[in-house]
């Protein structure tokens, strides 16, 4: 048997990794967030694309994901003045 002294080694705190996935439901396609195993993140549905190609933001996105959300907890839209940054 060997004995050694315990030393607490600081570990780097890693942020969870989220991925984007397209999911079809009825006649719409949704952009949703999933974890690295492909499991849906609770309240991680972001956008809906309708069959007539309208883009709709989903309400009440999980506010603990660190995404830029507005008062309805929808994804914030880029303002036209800021579009030059892309």
pLDDT in the model for residue 72: 94
pLDDT band of residue 24 (cuts 50, 70, 90) is very high
Count of alpha carbons within 13 angstroms of residue 6, beta-carbon side: 1
Q: How far apart are CA 41 and CA 19, in angstroms?
A: 10
Over the stretch 30-84, which tens digit does the pLDDT of each residue have? Answer: 999 998 889 999 999 999 999 999 999 999 999 999 899 999 999 998 875 565 5
C-alpha radius of gyration, the chain, whole number: 20
């Amino acid at each position: 048997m060997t004995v050694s002294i315990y030393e607490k080694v600081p570990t780097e705190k890693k942020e969870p990794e989220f991925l984007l996935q397209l999911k079809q439901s009825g006649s719409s396609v949704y952009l949703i967030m999933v974890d690295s195993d492909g499991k849906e993140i609770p309240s991680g549905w972001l956008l809906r694309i309708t069959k007539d190609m309208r883009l709709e933001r989903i309400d009440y996105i999980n506010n603990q994901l660190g995404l830029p959300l507005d008062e309805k907890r929808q994804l914030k839209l880029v303002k036209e003045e800021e579009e030059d940054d892309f």
